[in-house]
Structure 1
Amino acid sequence: MSSTSSAGELADAVPGPRQLLVLAIPAILVGVLTALVLWLLDEVSSLLEDLLWTTMPAGMGFDPDAPWWIMIVLTATGTAVGLVTWLVPGHAGPDSATTDLLEPPLKPWVVPGLALAAVLGLAGGVSLGPENPIIAINATIVAALFARLLPGIPGQLAVWLAAAGTIGALFDTPVAAALVFTSALTGTPVRGHLWDRLFLPLASAGAGAITMYLLGAPPLSFEMPAYPGPTAFDLLGGGLIAVGSVVVGLAALAVFPWVHRAFHALRHPVLIPLAGGIVLGLLGVLGGPITMFKGLEQTGELLANTGTYTAGALLVIALVKLVALVVAASSGFRGGRIFPAVFIGTALGMLGNVLLPTVPIALAVACGVLGVVLVVGRDGWIAIFVAVAIVGDIGVLPMLCVIVLPAWLLVTKAPEFRVEAAEPYPYLAANR
């Protein structure tokens, strides 16, 4: 989730207090701008989602959850994303399977195609989140604005401010951005105090989070029974749930490059997401609508019905969503992997609570989310933060800080949850 080389560039010149105060103004404006772009992308995708999954079925008198409609929409979504990737200038940017959250800015003409591909995937029910595309879009916009209006500010700082503002807006708090950038700065030369380097990204992230709150964005946390307090069995049971979730995530990681290679063997930029859309449609029919989309609203739906799912149902939901995540990330759709990972972790945590009912539901869910996000994000602090944020209970934090240790031992030597960048569409390379 981090970029050490980028962090090194930022660390080369740490502003002094007076510069920080002056630069805080553009940093705050960047946070507001990135939140507005994220909100606009969310609104457009929500309007299209309502059209596809509510207005059209209601107008024609059929059930939007009908298997044939799920197949039609996801197949059409794959075709549409393929056409954007093939025909729109910039080819919708780099394959999301090859990117992290922090990446260099794109060429400005790539942004429309990337935004269109992301909107289509979010609205059509593809199991990816908005994080990678929207950070790339905002970083490109802000870098271009700074190059024209504020040429004295380093381009890398512009990218970091855009990424920080977007992360703050995505997760409703600047804390997430602070954790991402603290990890990104690990291993870079120490030039000045860490908080000097975090000052401007935090200003942007705070502005982004506040702007999203004022725009009425739903909170990341959900209503859950309060954690009653730690016990020795909670430590053991929670550890088992977290480790089990890590193992499930590592299984997906192991097959990810193979699945990606299989889809891209189709070579043509339309055929790859088309095939992915067909497979996602079949998975949607198997797992139901709850296993579709980016997963945030569906996570709330799961948690609103704790105690009503059997162990078998939760296992099916988690595995179908896990396969859907791997397929969506492998078949040319544009999107991030964190939000679907949260849903998978929630389902696994609820499964752990069914199998180990003495582990309180808040801790069980937090441990499930911790395990899967740890594999997908490769960052212990981010995994702990997201786990605490989802259950909305700071009481689980001491337990998670211990439980993360054995889970991390399983992850530390594993590769990152992405594939090596290569020519994504040989057809395009051969016909340029």
Structure 2
Amino acid sequence: MPAEPAGTSVTGPADPYAPVRTRRYVGLLVMAAALGVPVSAIAFGFLALVSELQSLTYTELPKALGFEGTPSWWPVPLLGAAGLLVGLTVRHLPGGGGHRPAEGLVSTGAPAAAELPGIALAALASLGVGAALGPEAPLIALGGGLAVWAAGRVKRDLAPEARTLVGASGSFAAVSALLGSPLLGAFLLMEVAGQAGPTLGVVLVPGLLSAGVGALIFTGLGSWTGLGTYSLTLGEVPPAADPGIAEFGWALVLGVAAAFAGAGIRRLALALQERVERRTVVATAAMGLVIGALALVYAETSGKDGSEVLYSGEHELGHLLSTSAEYSVGALVLLIVCKSLAYCASLSCFRGGPVFPAMFVGAVAGVALSHLPGLHLTAGFAMGIGAMCVAMLRLPMTSVLLATLLLGREGLTVMPLVIVAVVVAYVVTLRLTPAPAPAEQARPEVA
């Protein structure tokens, strides 16, 4: 082996765990745990306010105006007014109302304090009146932004790395109980951020601590107020049969179908977003009218409640599974079409997260296909959720966990099927996604 040239030194790789051994890291853990309490309490209040707005605008307000029930046409003016408010918020308040959901869940860091009011207002106006989006993206942004703002008030000279850790911990706390498990929320955030290796452990530890504290706060507040924890739950799940050859075949079919459906939804949403941004206020109000009209069409055609087309679908998953026998195949297909189009319109201009509507669309598709031979209801339900989630989010590990942990004990039985469906959907989705333009070749540096 040739000798090293004179004047050079050989150094080993830097210790990736060095930050963990410092007193400053211990201080960050303490700060993460302390901030987890108020951030999770604010997140709980946000979810409670969204739930109250949904009940007020869709149920209480029609009764106050003299209607015996909610008219099937009610969502049309309601969503139009909401679109007007969201458009004004996006147009005039700092931050543009926050993350644009058509672009998927992306890691952009904690927003500035000046952007938080616009994020909260746009999300409340979107989620509270029926846009087909979930609360996870606004909660991630609000949790991270509030944590960084509070940490900056306590310690003015907070280093950029510390701000990143504190912001991530705040996001962990905000979504700690939303997906049914603090661990599942942690997987979602870490997969979105693309962290791996030793860096994963450095960031994950304070995040998990905040998530654990946040889950305790959610549980305590839910018990104290009687409102529950707003966690993703199903209730009773039909027993799942052991996977057979036919169901593995259905896993391939569901994976491919979900990939094409997800690509279509995403491309249509991005195309609509490009057009909406030319006239934000008017176009967002128009998209609200479209969503309301889709709910009206579904209600009048199927005889079901139009609210199934609206909202995130998080609280409808259990009802869908337990009452699946009450839905004809035609009604399920119509629900898939109307919900998917409402999802596209919501992604293009409203503010919220893309996770729960993707789960709902996939679940309905799985239930519809379970009417065919060789596919059990629970297996189709789980595979549809996993395949559609990965098609829309491109987060394979999170998609598998969402589809299986949700089912409790039965999730272990169908997990092999879900893994096959998710992997197939993930690979096909990447093949359907246009490759990014190659970067220009950098010119060689002059020595």
Same fold (TM over 0.5): yes
Aligned partners of 2:403 and 2:411 also within 8 Å: no
Aligned partners of 1:172 and 1:219 also within 8 Å: yes
- Structure 2 counterpart of 1:322: 340
- Structure 1 counterpart of 2:232: 220
- Structure 2 counterpart of 1:293: 311
Pair 1:245 & 2:253 matched: no
1:81-100 matches, cutoff 5 A? 81-98=86-103, 100=105
Aligned partners of 1:20 and 1:199 also within 8 Å: no
Alpha-carbon spacing, 1:69–1:63, altered in 2? closer, same or farther (3 Å): farther
1:32-431 matches, cutoff 5 A? 32-98=37-103, 100-150=105-155, 151-152=157-158, 154-183=162-191, 186=194, 190-191=197-198, 194-214=200-220, 215=222, 216-222=228-234, 223-264=236-277, 267-287=278-298, 288-330=306-348, 332-356=349-373, 358-392=374-408, 393-395=410-412, 396-415=414-433
| 1:159 aligned partner, one-letter code | G
Alpha-carbon spacing, 1:390–1:277, altered in 2? closer, same or farther (3 Å): same
The percentage of counterpart residues that share the same residue type is: 25
Q: Distance in 2 between matches of 1:23 and 1:351?
A: 49
Q: Distance in 1 between matches of 2:273 and 2:42?
A: 30
CA deviations over 1:209-246 (Å, ceiling 9, x no partner): 23222322144231211213222222222332233223
Aligned partners of 1:101 and 1:131 also within 8 Å: no
Deviation at 1:311, TM superposition (A): 1.4
Q: Distance in 2 between matches of 1:182 and 1:205?
A: 13
Q: Secondary structure at the match of 2:371?
A: helix
Q: Distance in 2 between matches of 1:404 and 1:97?
A: 21
Aligned partners of 1:65 and 1:289 also within 8 Å: no
Q: Distance in 1 between matches of 2:230 and 2:140?
A: 19
Aligned partners of 2:363 and 2:381 also within 8 Å: yes
Scaled by the length of structure 2, the TM-score of the pair is 0.82
| 2:273 aligned partner, one-letter code | H
Q: Secondary structure at the match of 1:169?
A: coil
Q: Distance in 2 between matches of 1:14 and 1:376?
A: 35
Q: Distance in 2 between matches of 1:368 and 1:41?
A: 29
CA deviations over 1:57-114 (Å, ceiling 9, x no partner): 1223315542332211111111122232334455423534346353222221221122
CA deviations over 1:406-427 (Å, ceiling 9, x no partner): 22221234449xxxxxxxxxxx
Q: Secondary structure at the match of 1:307?
A: helix
Task: Structure 2: give runs of 5+ residues left out of the alignment.
Answer: 1-15, 223-227, 299-305, 435-447
Q: Secondary structure at the match of 1:171?
A: coil
Q: Over alpha carbons, which structure has the higher Rg?
A: 2
Aligned partners of 2:106 and 2:192 also within 8 Å: no
- Measured on the aligned residues, the alpha-carbon RMSD in Å equals 2.5
Aligned partners of 1:172 and 1:212 also within 8 Å: no
CA deviations over 1:11-37 (Å, ceiling 9, x no partner): 796422866554333222333333212
Q: Secondary structure at the match of 2:147?
A: helix
| 2:383 aligned partner, one-letter code | C
- Structure 2 counterpart of 1:419: none
More off after superposition, 336-345 vs 240-249: 240-249
Deviation at 1:308, TM superposition (A): 1.6
Aligned partners of 2:362 and 2:384 also within 8 Å: yes
Aligned partners of 2:111 and 2:141 also within 8 Å: yes
Aligned partners of 1:238 and 1:403 also within 8 Å: yes
Q: Distance in 2 between matches of 1:53 and 1:413?
A: 41
